[in-house]
Amino acid sequence: MALSKIQAESMNLADTYAFTGDVTAGNDVERVTASGSVTSGTSHEIEINDCFSSDYSAYRIYLYDLLTNQTNSQGVEFKLQLKNSSGLITSGYYNRSYRSYTGHTAHEVDRAENAANFTLGFNQLIMGDTNSGGAFYMDVLTADDYHTNVHFNIWGEHPSNNIAIPSIGIGMLANTTQKTGFKFFMSSSSYDFTNYKYRVIGLR
C-alpha cells in the first residue's frame, strides 16, 4: 500500500474523518487494559478479570485510594493470586516482602514458599483513612515463558500515630499458562475494601 503524507496545517481537527483498514496508534507500547473505581465496597477481595493477554509480556497493576473498615487493633495479611483461563492459580508462589516503620527497630519479613498466593505484607493498621488512602503497585513480567516474575510495593498508614508502613517485595510464580487477571485480598473476610481505584497497564 502506498504511503500518503498529509501536511498537518491542511487538516481541520474540528472535522470528522473516517479510516478504513488497520490504523496503528503512534504510542502502542503501553495501553490501559483495565480501570475503574469502587466507592461502597462490601468485600475483602478485589478481583480484576480479562486484564492480561498475550498482546503484552509485562503489566503494571495500580490499586490506590484504598480504604478498609479495619480498626487500629486488627491485623491482616494482604495477598494476591493470579488467574488463567481455568480460574485462580493456587500453587507455585514464592516471594519475600520487607516491612518496617518508625515504631520498629528492624525490618520484618513476609514470605511465601510454594504457597497458594503471594503474601504481600502484614499490618496492624487501617489501610488508609479518609484523609490518606493506601496504595499498591506491582510489575508482572511474563516474558521468559516459565516464571512469572513480580516486583511490588504496598503502603498504608497506622491510624493512631499517622506513621506510614511500607512493604517492598519481589517474587515469582512457577506457572507456564497465559495469565488473564488477578485477585488482591485480605486474609480475613471480616473486613472489607470500602473504597479503591484500579488501573492495569500492558507493556510491549
Q: Give residue 29's pLDDT band: very low, low, confident or very high (50, 70, 90).
A: confident
Q: What is the pLDDT of residue 87?
A: 97
pLDDT (tens digit per residue) in 162-203: 677 888 999 999 998 889 999 999 998 988 999 999 999 999
Q: What is the pLDDT of residue 200?
A: 97
Q: What is the pLDDT of residue 119?
A: 94
**Integer angstrom CA distances of residue 93 from 60, 80, 116, 149, 179:** 18, 10, 6, 10, 14
Q: Which residues pair with 75 in a beta bridge?
A: 124
DSSP code per residue over 20-55: -S----S--SEEEEEEEEESS--BSEEEE-S---TT
pLDDT (tens digit per residue) in 97-124: 998 776 666 778 889 999 999 999 877 6
pLDDT > 90: percent of the chain: 47
Nearest Cα residue to 178 out of 114, 91, 105, 89: 89
- List the domain boundaries for the chain: 29-203
The C-alpha atoms of residue 5 and residue 57 are separated, in whole angstroms, by 33
